[in-house]
């Protein structure tokens, strides 16, 4: 039988964090300076550049541990706070709380149709693999959200050292998936997910979970096109 695999983005496709990064920074500031008056829009400008995925052309094998990965982001968080008018001492203190706030599973939610989409495709013989630009604790989040059982593998940029849309993270995903003959990429980002996959000859599907039909168009398309051409060696 042909080995068939769906590569899935995680954040924004299968699940989401309430408030995203900007909201997380405000929550961390709440802990050290109640009544600060800073809102998410105030810290947003300072977060527009500086995450590893903002430089996908550059690998980061040196950030090979959770502490190293988060440590590299501390200056970014401090800058965002200071830019919002937070005093430097409080900015540094709040920045040290961001990690714990971001990975707090109570702030995460799975999109309503995510599990049914995964189960329907699995019943049709498709294996699932996560390919995500995410924090080092992604495996724990998947477990705590009850999603881990649906995936044969998790390929995380903070572990691999390369961010989507770079070909190396997709190559790592294909390797972990056992070099599948049929494969799709499903995600909510037209560049990181769809264009990145298509550069390797992997067809991509752009979705908007929480709006329109959510993941249903992706499921229908994958199930309909069982005759999808195999990945050509040129694409790899």
89 shares its domain with 135 = no
Q: Among 89, 106, 123, which residue terminates a domain?
A: 106
Question: Residue 235 pLDDT > 80, yes or no?
Answer: no
Mark which of 106, 122, 155 sits at the end of a domain: 106
Q: How confident is the model at residue 210 (pLDDT cuts 50, 70, 90)?
A: confident
Question: Is residue 129 domain-shared with residue 12, that is, in the same domain?
Answer: yes
Looking up residue 128, the CATH number of its domain turns out to be 3.40.50.1000
- C-beta neighbour count of 216 within 10 angstroms: 14
Tell whether 236 is covered by a domain.
no
Three-class DSSP category at 15: strand
Determine if the pTM surpasses 0.85.
Answer: yes
**Strand-pair partners of 15:** 11, 110
If asked whether residues 147 and 187 sit together in one domain, one would say yes
Residue 199 CB partners (closer than 8 Å, separation 6+): 165, 167, 170
Q: Which of 47, 80, 106 is the last residue of a domain?
A: 106
Q: In whole angstroms, give the CA distance from residue 138 to residue 11.
A: 10
Judgement on whether residues 90 and 174 belong to the same structural domain of the protein: no
Q: Is residue 37 part of a domain?
A: yes
Statement to judge: residues 10 and 120 lie in one domain = yes
Domain of 43 in residue numbering reads as 17-106
Identify whether 23 is preceded by a cis peptide bond (ω within 30 of 0): no
Q: What is the DSSP letter of 192?
A: I
pLDDT score recorded for residue 231: 41
Residue 49 lies in a domain: yes
> What backbone phi and psi angles, to 5 degrees, belong to 55?
-130, 60
Please tell me whether residues 158 and 77 are part of one structural domain.
Answer: no
Please tell me whether residues 115 and 212 are part of one structural domain.
Answer: yes
Contacts of residue 35, Cβ cutoff 8 Å, sequence gap at least 6? none
Tell me the per-residue pLDDT of 100-134, one tens digit each, with 9 for 90 and over: 999 999 999 999 999 999 999 999 999 999 999 99
User: Do both 147 and 177 map to the same domain?
Assistant: yes
Average per-residue pLDDT for the chain = 93
Smallest Cα–Cα separation from 193: which of 184, 107, 123, 124?
A: 184
pLDDT, residue 227, reads 44
Domain tally, the chain: 2
Q: Is the pLDDT of residue 76 over 60?
A: yes
Angle at 163 between CA 222 and CA 137, to 5 degrees: 90
**62 and 114 assigned to the same domain:** no
Residue 224: pLDDT over 70: yes
> Do 27 and 61 belong to one domain?
yes
- Rg of the Cα atoms in the chain: 19
Judgement on whether residues 36 and 117 belong to the same structural domain of the protein: no
Whether 141 maps to a domain, the answer reads: yes
Tell me if 8 sits within 8 A of 127, measured CB to CB. Answer: no
Element (H, E) at 114: helix 114-123
Cα separations in angstroms, 12 against 72, 147, 172, 185: 24, 14, 21, 14
Residues 145-193 have pLDDT tens digits of 999 999 999 999 999 999 999 999 999 999 999 889 899 999 999 999 9
What are the structure tokens assigned to 61, written together?
């094998």
Structure tokens at 18: 């309430």
Q: Does 2 score more than 60 pLDDT?
A: no
- What is the Cα–Cα distance from 88 to 81, expressed in whole angstroms? 8
How much is the pLDDT for 183? 96
Question: Angle at the Cα of 162 (from 159 to 167), degrees rounded to 5?
Answer: 130
What is the three-class DSSP state of 33? Answer: coil
**Helices marked H in the chain — which ranges?**
20-32, 40-43, 66-83, 88-95, 98-102, 114-123, 138-144, 157-160, 167-176, 196-198, 216-224
Q: Are 128 and 210 members of one domain?
A: yes
């Amino acid at each position: 039988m042909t080995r068939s695999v769906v590569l899935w983005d995680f954040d924004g496709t299968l699940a989401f964090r309430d408030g995203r990064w900007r909201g997380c920074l405000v929550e961390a500031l709440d802990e050290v300076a109640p009544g600060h008056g800073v809102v998410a829009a105030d810290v947003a400008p300072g977060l527009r550049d500086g995450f590893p995925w903002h430089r996908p052309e550059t690998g980061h094998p040196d950030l090979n541990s959770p502490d190293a990965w988060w440590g590299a982001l501390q200056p970014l968080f401090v800058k965002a706070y200071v830019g919002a008018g937070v005093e430097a001492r409080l900015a540094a203190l709040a920045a040290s709380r961001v990690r714990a706030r971001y990975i707090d599973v109570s702030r995460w939610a799975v999109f309503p149709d995510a599990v049914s989409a995964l189960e329907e495709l699995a019943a049709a013989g498709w294996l699932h693999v996560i390919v995500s630009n995410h924090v080092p604790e992604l495996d724990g989040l998947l477990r705590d959200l009850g999603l881990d059982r649906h995936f044969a593998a998790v390929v995380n940029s903070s572990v691999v050292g390369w961010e989507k849309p770079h070909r190396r993270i997709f190559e790592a995903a294909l390797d972990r998936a056992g070099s599948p003959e049929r494969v799709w990429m499903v995600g909510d980002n037209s560049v990181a997910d769809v264009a990145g996959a298509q550069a390797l000859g992997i067809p991509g599907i752009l979705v908007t979970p929480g709006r329109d039909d959510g993941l249903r168009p992706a499921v229908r398309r994958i199930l309909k096109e069982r005759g999808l051409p195999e990945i050509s060696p040129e694409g790899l």
